[in-house]
């Protein structure tokens, strides 16, 4: 008997009823010859304020040229997994340079950050072990913990004390589950992708050391942006060592503008991942051309440090403009600046209002964020101009005032 397709249609109707439909918008062209802040979407010219190209490297001339030259030299695909015939000299050089950049013995390339987190967690823990995660950790960390078979608990956001209490309660919980609790792992984002705030990594590192637990930090949104040299959250927080944070995960498709990810750590850690990590062993390697482009992007991020200074200055400029207009802000010192709306419907309306005004700002709704915290996720690039940021703040203020008026009208109608 075939499945009833009406179940799928009913699911879509329910998603729409709750204002949670996810829709893709297609970029038809870039509206400027340089940079990537202005795009053509649905025939409309928009300023993009919801991407992750923080340093503006995705269309940097040197990075683009490296990709073209790499494709001419190595082709457009690797043709196999790293452990068969897919591992090339550009991969090897990039891994060495990434390890040196983050101060680790070795680094290992992956196609996506999702795969990197899956590799790290499922290799280090398994059935009978314990994983504790920040409640707002990225979905890939949550999925990795679940797939590992370990006993998963999530602690209140940025609350290292709550993480400590979960580990202290391990004996009772694990006994109930019939597991031995022999291994422990703590994991968190470095910079939280939907909130822009920074994890208390130092406190988590102290807890991990006392608990003899692995500590995994996914610094996808910190690397390249935070710290005097752009080495990310660990540098920003005072230079936490490789001993304090033994497993560091980073992505290449955000501040570095290309594609892929890596895990960095000790020689032994990386070698075990090579031998055991399923998301490394059983997948095609990144194209060497992308690795070549990323090597150049890494160099550019260091040579053009003004990009890091610029994007952080733009975020602060926006915060000042928002405060002047009475816009409530979250505690973020990063290029990610969320504006909490609350309801999915309200977030969609605010996003559409900005779209009509020429700004592309995504509405982020559950399940990406917790219920009641739907928001606009505004993010900045070094390629944005001061005038673009000022115009965004003004349009955002008008859009939010429109939401307030609509809410008052709805309340009056209900009475």
Two structure tokens written together for 226: 């935070």
Active-site pick, 221, 332, 384, 395: 221
Contacts within 8 Å (CB) and 24+ apart, 207-212: 207/160, 207/163, 207/164, 207/167, 209/244, 211/164, 211/167, 211/184, 211/186, 212/184
Q: How far is residue 408's CA from residue 211's CA, in Å, rounded to a whole number?
A: 52
Two structure tokens written together for 162: 């709550």
| Paired sense of beta strands 359-360 and 44-48, if any | parallel
Q: Of how many residues is the chain composed? A: 415
CA distance readout (Å), 85 to 82, 96, 201: 6, 19, 38
Q: How far is residue 3's CA from residue 160's CA, in Å, rounded to a whole number?
A: 46
99 contacts 107 by C-beta, under 8 angstroms: yes
Active-site pick, 87, 254, 351, 381: 254
In this structure, the number of other CB atoms found within 10 A of the CB of residue 253 comes to 18
Active-site residue 193, yes or no? yes
In this structure, the number of other CB atoms found within 10 A of the CB of residue 211 comes to 19
Q: How far is residue 299's CA from residue 101's CA, in Å, rounded to a whole number?
A: 10
Residue 71 burial (10 A CB sphere; 0-12, 13-18, 19+): middle
Active-site pick, 137, 193, 211, 395: 193
Residues 6+ apart with CB under 8 A from 253: 52, 113, 259, 260, 261
As annotated, the active-site residues are 193, 221, 254
């Amino acid at each position: 008997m075939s499945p009833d397709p009406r179940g799928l249609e009913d699911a879509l109707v329910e998603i729409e009823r709750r204002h949670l439909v996810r829709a893709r918008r297609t970029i038809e062209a870039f509206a400027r010859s340089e940079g990537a802040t202005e795009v053509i979407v649905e025939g409309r010219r928009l300023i993009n304020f919801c991407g992750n190209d923080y340093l503006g490297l995705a269309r940097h001339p040197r990075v683009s040229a490296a990709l073209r030259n790499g494709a001419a030299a190595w082709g457009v695909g690797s043709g196999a997994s790293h452990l068969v015939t897919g591992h090339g000299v550009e991969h090897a050089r990039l891994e060495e340079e990434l390890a040196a950049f983050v101060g680790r013995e070795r680094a290992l390339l992956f196609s996506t950050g999702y795969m990197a987190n899956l590799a790290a967690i499922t290799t280090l823990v398994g059935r009978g072990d314990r994983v504790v995660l920040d409640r707002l950790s990225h979905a890939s960390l949550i999925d990795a913990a679940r797939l590992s078979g370990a006993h998963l608990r999530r602690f209140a956001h940025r609350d290292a004390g709550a993480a400590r209490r979960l580990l202290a309660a391990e004996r009772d919980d694990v006994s109930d589950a019939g597991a031995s609790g022999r291994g422990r792992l703590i994991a968190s984002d470095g910079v939280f992708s939907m909130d822009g705030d920074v994890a208390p990594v130092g406190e988590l590192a102290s807890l991990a050391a006392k608990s003899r637990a692995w500590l995994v930090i996914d610094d996808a949104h910190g690397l390249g942006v935070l710290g005097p040299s752009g080495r990310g959250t660990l540098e920003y927080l005072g230079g936490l060592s490789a001993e304090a944070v033994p497993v560091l995960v980073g992505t290449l498709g955000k501040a570095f503008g290309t594609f892929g990810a890596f895990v960095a750590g000790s020689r032994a850690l990386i070698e075990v991942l090579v031998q055991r990590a399923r998301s490394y062993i059983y997948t095609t390697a990144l194209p060497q051309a992308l690795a070549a482009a990323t090597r150049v992007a890494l160099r550019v991020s260091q040579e053009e440090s003004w990009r890091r200074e610029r994007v952080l200055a733009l975020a602060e400029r926006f915060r000042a403009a928002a405060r002047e207009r009475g816009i409530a802000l979250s505690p973020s010192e990063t290029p990610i600046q969320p504006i909490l709306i609350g309801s999915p419907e309200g977030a969609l309306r605010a996003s559409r209002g900005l779209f009509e005004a020429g700004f592309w700002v995504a509405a982020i709704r559950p399940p990406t964020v917790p219920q009641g915290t739907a928001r606009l996720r505004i993010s900045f690039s070094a390629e944005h101009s001061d005038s673009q940021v000022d115009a965004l703040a003004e349009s955002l203020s008008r859009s939010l005032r429109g939401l307030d008026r609509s809410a008052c009208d709805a309340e009056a109608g209900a009475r």
